[in-house]
Amino acid sequence: MFGEATIEELEKAGAFDGIKVQPKNARIQEVKEPFLQKYATVLAAFVLLLVGWIIGEIRGEDSIASIIAYASSIIIGGYHLFQTGLKNLLRLQFDMKTLMTIAVIGAAIIGEWGEGATVVILFAISEVLESYSMDKARQSIRSLMDITPKEAMIRRGQQEMVVDVEDIQINDVLLVKPGQKLAMDGIIVKGLSAINQAAITGESVPVAKGINDEVYAGTLNEEGFLEVKVTKHVEDTTIAKIIHLVEEAQAERAPSQAFVDRFAKYYTPLIMLFALGVAIVPPLLFGAQWNEWIYQGLAVLVVGCPCALVISTPVAIVTAIGNAAKKGVLIKGGIHLEEMGALKAIAFDKTGTLTKGVPVVTDYETAPGIHANETFAIITALEKASQHPLASAILKKADQWELNYAHLELEDFTSVTGKGIFGIIAGTKYYVGSPSFINEQIEGGLLAVYHEKITALEEQGKTVMAVCSSEQFLAIVAVADEIREETKEVIQQLHSLGLQKTIMLTGDNEGTAKAVGNKAGVNEVKANLLPQDKLSFIKELRSAYHRVAMVGDGVNDAPALAASTVGIAMGGAGTDTALETADIALMADDLRKLPFTVKLSRKALRIIKQNITFSLGIKLLALLLVVPGWLTLWIAIFADMGATLIVTLNSLRLLRVKDES
């Protein structure tokens, strides 16, 4: 309807801005150019600069041969600079290339050919350094792109074949040998193996996987032969989403970068006006030498070039986000990186975040003279028929103890909502439920000694079930959602990093919440909270601490995650919701990634501030040399290039921030 255009035509239309186009999902073959070929123009310009200097030393700086050599150096080395600078000048867009273009042409006009050529060479070198640093920072994403195979062996129907990953369809079966990487996301339908998921989740230890377990493209099958049913197209795999989100994040402007861009927009024209003033005011008002002060004005243009300032933030942001992605932490933008670095408080959901999210039997005690295994088999037979969330803990424990309960026939099973269950086994009626429910079933109620034991267990944060028959009391079973092994250490690390407040939010009762909170070491515990209560509490925290993070599973805690300054989702690799809704996703279900993320963000924020302060400070210092007339083009370009190099190297220090989990 609107016609079609070739890639060549699109690129031609965007040639003025150097736009390049590539087909969607195209594989990019990165061709490495030889060093001499890649930097041929810079090297040629440098050689001509040396030739001009040597001739100048022998025949004098004003010799025609020396000027020709310098002019050739300027034209060859500065061709692309002048091309952009002159176009921007015609558009009245005053950026660093415009400043450099005016400075070099001005230097040539007043006869400073050697210094003009030096400015061109040193600016070209600073551009090369800038390009290298950005490439270095983006290598983490290239390495993620390279980890997935380009083709795979599949079974489709009865036929086995090797196909490109783009041609693999949902429900095809991947055939993955030991030592091979998985090409697609899927579910294991046959085989057992240890899978190295480091590329996705940052976990250093391989994870055991079996039938019905989910596996991800780019992970390494270390041991067994696997058959994996494909569940996603190549562009929808977890690794593809991570790459897409990280690329978006690296391209997004952070608040400090937006500040720098706004600053540069006004700063550059002001520098040009200041340079003009330096060039014409002393000769006009004080009778000073025109050549001398035009030269000073040109030096002001060079030293005022905001190269270091412009690059100060993006290199740091790109480096930090790339480093985090390699360690299994997905930060979805520079703004979230900066906000994370300035956090004052962190709120945690309890279940599945500070705890494992899986209830387990922690205590089991029978009445005197009661056979423990037989009674637990009866409890299991009853709980097998139950829909209660804690029933899974009973069944799991029975399997661990290898108890045989399949032969027990259950009759007249009844569930009393909120209280318990009962049924008949081998002619005897058995009850399992809350202590108050069991208290009602026993003549005379529970003995005081059992009341004391139940109270003690509940104070430890455990849910207690009592068991009796129609004739007597039988047992007490305590179930709890266990705290993660790493939780206490993580909370301590966060406090040592300077977090003022750690809070646990939960819908559990006060006793359970306080017990878990004490074990975790958080500053404060809020219990009996509905989702809307969590949302209200996050808003209160924000008004008190301004910047607050919420750590949850990305699904149940969506309102609280959205209301926080930074929403952090656990186990992002397993849920699309976490990847899409959270500001930061910890790809592994590993709380230890949190201190690393805080440490990286804080260092990134510190480096950005250092870069901006240093960039502006060095400019101010160099500009002060104008007052006594000491500023030269040599000092100006070395100040500018030196500042660019220093902020670049300073930003690349973020690659060295280690994940110590």
255 pLDDT band (50/70/90 cuts)? Answer: low
Q: What is the pLDDT of residue 524?
A: 93
> Is residue 236 among the annotated active site residues?
no
Q: Using CA atoms, how far apart are residues 339 and 332, in angstroms rounded to an integer? A: 12
Residue 422, strand partner residues: 414, 431
Q: Does the pLDDT at position 239 exceed 90?
A: no
Half-sphere exposure of 115 (CA within 13 A, CB side): 23
Contact between 30 and 83 under an 8 Å Cβ cutoff? The reply is no
Which stretches of 93-158 are assigned E, i.e. beta strand? 151-156
Contact between 349 and 556 under an 8 Å Cβ cutoff? The reply is yes
Please report, as a single letter, which amino acid is at residue 252.
E
User: Per-residue pLDDT averaged across 78-86, rounded?
Assistant: 83
Which stretches of 486-600 are assigned E, i.e. beta strand? 501-505, 524-526, 548-552, 566-570, 584-586
Considering the candidates 349, 553, 557, 589, report the single residue annotated as catalytic: 349
Q: What is the pLDDT of residue 29?
A: 46
User: Phi and psi of 119, rounded to 5°?
Assistant: -60, -45
pTM of the model: 0.69
Residue whose pair of structure tokens reads 């210094």 in the numeric block = 115
Smallest CA-to-CA distance from 590 within 573, 605, 571, 607 is with 571
Query: Chain-centre distance of CA 134, in angstroms?
Result: 18
Contacts of 502 (CB under 8 A, 6+ apart): 345, 346, 347, 348, 491, 494, 495, 521, 522, 523, 524
Which stretches of 112-225 are assigned E, i.e. beta strand? 151-156, 159-164, 173-176, 186-190, 193-196, 207-209, 214-215, 220-221
Q: Using CA atoms, how far apart are residues 268 and 98, in angstroms rounded to an integer? A: 9
Q: Is 417 exposed, middle or buried (0-12, 13-18, 19+ CB in 10 A)?
A: exposed
DSSP state of 181: B
494 pLDDT band (50/70/90 cuts)? Answer: very high
Smallest CA-to-CA distance from 585 within 279, 276, 307, 238 is with 238
Residues 607, 609, 611, 616: what is their CA dihedral angle, to the nearest 10 degrees?
Answer: -170
Element of type H or E holding 352 = none
What whole-number percentage of the chain has pLDDT above 90?
Answer: 22
Q: Which of 106-120, 251-265, 510-524 has the highest mean pLDDT?
A: 510-524
Contact between 416 and 438 under an 8 Å Cβ cutoff? The reply is no
Q: Using CA atoms, how far apart are residues 101 and 106, in angstroms rounded to an integer? A: 8
pLDDT tens, residue by residue, 500-556: 999 998 877 677 788 889 989 999 999 878 777 888 898 899 999 989 999 987 555
User: Per-residue pLDDT averaged across 73-82, rounded?
Assistant: 86
225 pLDDT band (50/70/90 cuts)? Answer: very high
CA-based torsion, 655, 258, 268, 274: positive or negative: negative
Q: What is the mean pLDDT of the chain?
A: 81
Q: Which of 23-27, 146-150, 475-479 has the lowest mean pLDDT?
A: 23-27
Smallest CA-to-CA distance from 397 within 369, 377, 418 is with 377
Smallest CA-to-CA distance from 549 within 349, 390, 384 is with 349
Q: What is the pLDDT of residue 24?
A: 45
* Cβ neighbours around 399 below 10 Å, total: 11
Q: Using CA atoms, how far apart are residues 608 and 250, in angstroms rounded to an integer? A: 15
Q: Does the pLDDT at position 375 exceed 90?
A: yes
Contact between 239 and 217 under an 8 Å Cβ cutoff? The reply is yes
Please give the C-alpha separations between residue 242 and each of 155, 209, 248, 319, in angstroms, as whole numbers: 27, 22, 10, 16
Q: Are strands 548-552 and 566-570 parallel, antiparallel or unpaired?
A: parallel
Domains of the chain: 151-236 (2.70.150.10), 318-355+483-602 (3.40.50.1000), 357-482 (3.40.1110.10)
pLDDT tens, residue by residue, 2-41: 455 555 555 555 444 444 444 444 444 444 566 566 778 8
User: Per-residue pLDDT averaged across 274-300, rounded?
Assistant: 84
Residue 464, strand partner residues: 478
pLDDT tens, residue by residue, 579-628: 666 788 888 888 999 999 999 999 999 999 999 899 888 878 877 887 77
Q: Using CA atoms, how far apart are residues 585 and 337, in angstroms rounded to an integer? A: 12
Q: Using CA atoms, how far apart are residues 154 and 175, in angstroms rounded to an integer? A: 6
User: Per-residue pLDDT averaged across 400-408, rounded?
Assistant: 89
Q: Using CA atoms, how far apart are residues 563 and 548, in angstroms rounded to an integer? A: 9
Q: What is the pLDDT of residue 535?
A: 84
Contacts of 318 (CB under 8 A, 6+ apart): 134, 137, 138, 250
Residue whose pair of structure tokens reads 């056979």 in the numeric block = 371
Q: Which two tokens stand for residue 189?
A: 């339908």
Q: Which two tokens stand for residue 620?
A: 């101010």
Contact between 163 and 234 under an 8 Å Cβ cutoff? The reply is no
Contact between 353 and 511 under an 8 Å Cβ cutoff? The reply is no
Q: What is the pLDDT of residue 474?
A: 92
DSSP state of 266: H
Counting every residue written for the chain, the total comes to 661
Q: Using CA atoms, how far apart are residues 353 and 349, in angstroms rounded to an integer? A: 6
User: Phi and psi of 634, rounded to 5°?
Assistant: -65, -50
Q: Using CA atoms, how far apart are residues 28 and 160, in angstroms rounded to an integer? A: 28
Instruction: Indicate left, alpha or beta for 338 from its phi (over 0: left) and psi (-120 to 50: alpha).
Output: alpha
Q: What is the pLDDT of residue 146?
A: 64
Please report, as a single letter, which amino acid is at residue 513.
A
Q: Which of 246-250, 310-314, 463-467, 544-548 has the lowest mean pLDDT?
A: 246-250
DSSP state of 401: T
Q: Which two tokens stand for residue 359?
A: 């209830």
Q: Which of 110-114, 320-324, 428-432, 636-640 has the highest mean pLDDT?
A: 428-432
